[in-house]
Amino acid sequence: MQRARLILPALTVTALALFAQVPAGDAAPAMEWREVFNEDGTITQTLTPKPATKTTTGFRTLAAAEVTRIYGDRDPSDAFDLVFVGDGYTSDDMATYTANVKSKWDELSAVEPFASYKKYFNVWQVDVISPESGVDHDPTKGILKDTALDMGFWCQGRDANTERLLCVDETKAKEYAALAPQADQVIALGNTTKYGGAGGSVATAAGSNAQAGQIAIHELGHSIGDLADEYDYPYLTYTGSEPREVNVTKDPTGAKWGEYLNQPSPDGGVIAPIEGARYYKNGLYRPTANSIMRTLGKEFNLIGRDAMIKAFKAKIPSLTDPASPPTPAN
């Protein structure tokens, strides 16, 4: 493990080019589906008002933030770069933040296939400092905090039904994540002990809640492995075309999984089609009863694990270079 510190300037020329032209949007109350993670490990979807697009006049300013490499020593062009940003951590809370990032990475990197491939990761911690400690609507609705990334339960107060939906301003989170040399996946941790998290282009998790790290693992199944969700909420019957994701099929014979059929799977049982997947109770099939793409705390199934490994190989050139050491065994 190696620690390398670098201080990056607030607003580089590249950042100016990227963020100066953000168009002014209107605040149409569009809705979007969001993934919700329940404390018992089950996962569902909830319909949530989209955040209003903020009008940008002139240049948006970014605070400077210290970036620390907490794991890995690889060139970002030959690594998977995981970037943590934090919200609701004041300068006095930085020790808590550092401990939260470490515990989430420890949890994630203990799960296969990350455990076998962790040496191909760089993990970056961006020290985002907030004026106030904590996140919005914690511990109860209506309590507001002045924080850098505007994180809050009840999806920042937008959703009336789902307390554990912990949303973040994804634009701000990505701006801070861009201070790291490269971001293949961004995880935003909130300074809270209360269970919560959300999916999306920025995954979120409660920093001081021990269970919340599972959310990030599930999200990496989407972002690295391009895996579909294997839960069957909220729809009834699927009538569309064959899904592109490798871990779901509309074919009840499971022929898509070829020689994987009947092979033992790390999450238990063997690969065999089970009805109910990708938001539908009927008409779509998953490869095993209960992988992490269906329930937090479970393993990836064999199809999912191999998809992740294939994606690592595509992302990390030296993994497929014949001159490099062989792929680690599972």
- Characterise 80 by phi-psi region: left (phi > 0), alpha (psi -120 to 50), beta (else): beta
Q: How many residues form the binding site for Zn ion (CB under 5 A)?
A: 2
Minimum CB distance to Zn ion smaller for 145 or for 305: 305
Q: At closest approach, how far in Å is the CB of 132 from Zn ion?
A: 31
Q: At closest approach, how far in Å is the CB of 303 from Zn ion?
A: 15
Residue 222 three-state SS = helix
Cα dihedral value 178, 182, 183, 189, nearest 10: -60
Interface region with Zn ion, contact rule CB under 5 A, candidates 34-42, 102-110, 187-195, 268-276 = 34-42
C-alpha to C-alpha distance for 106 and 196, rounded to whole angstroms:
19
DSSP state of 76: G
Residue among 87, 229, 245, 299 that touches Zn ion (CB under 5 A): 229
Interface region with Zn ion, contact rule CB under 5 A, candidates 51-59, 65-73, 222-230, 315-323 = 222-230
Minimum CB distance to Zn ion smaller for 170 or for 229: 229
Q: At closest approach, how far in Å is the CB of 217 from Zn ion?
A: 11
Minimum CB distance to Zn ion smaller for 136 or for 229: 229
Binding characters for Zn ion, 179-218, by CB under 5 A (x = yes) = ----------------------------------------
Q: At closest approach, how far in Å is the CB of 308 from Zn ion?
A: 14
C-alpha to C-alpha distance for 111 and 114, rounded to whole angstroms:
6
Burial of 66 (0-12, 13-18, 19+ CB in 10 A): middle
- Characterise 209 by phi-psi region: left (phi > 0), alpha (psi -120 to 50), beta (else): beta
Q: What Cα–Cα distance (Å) separates residue 184 from each residue in 44, 216, 220, 291?
A: 25, 13, 10, 23
Interface region with Zn ion, contact rule CB under 5 A, candidates 29-37, 58-66, 95-103, 238-246 = 29-37
What stretches of 34-186 show up as alpha helix (H) in DSSP? 94-108, 114-117, 153-156, 170-177
Minimum CB distance to Zn ion smaller for 134 or for 221: 221
Q: At closest approach, how far in Å is the CB of 57 from Zn ion?
A: 36
Q: At closest approach, how far in Å is the CB of 199 from Zn ion?
A: 5
Minimum CB distance to Zn ion smaller for 156 or for 291: 291
Minimum CB distance to Zn ion smaller for 72 or for 213: 213
Minimum CB distance to Zn ion smaller for 35 or for 159: 35
Q: At closest approach, how far in Å is the CB of 24 from Zn ion?
A: 32
Q: The tokens of 188 are what?
A: 């935003």
Minimum CB distance to Zn ion smaller for 194 or for 294: 294
Residue 320 three-state SS = coil
Residue identified by tokens 């953000």 is: 22
Interface region with Zn ion, contact rule CB under 5 A, candidates 31-39, 69-77, 100-108, 311-319 = 31-39
Crossing angle for the helix pair 302-315 and 213-223, nearest 10 degrees?
70
Minimum CB distance to Zn ion smaller for 35 or for 267: 35
Site for Zn ion in 35-94 (CB under 5 A): 35
C-alpha to C-alpha distance for 158 and 92, rounded to whole angstroms:
29
Burial of 7 (0-12, 13-18, 19+ CB in 10 A): exposed
Q: At closest approach, how far in Å is the CB of 254 from Zn ion?
A: 21
Is the omega angle on the peptide bond into residue 234 within 30 degrees of 0, that is, cis? yes
Q: At closest approach, how far in Å is the CB of 171 from Zn ion?
A: 21
Residue nearest to Zn ion (CB): 229
Binding site residues, Zn ion, CB under 5 A: 35, 229
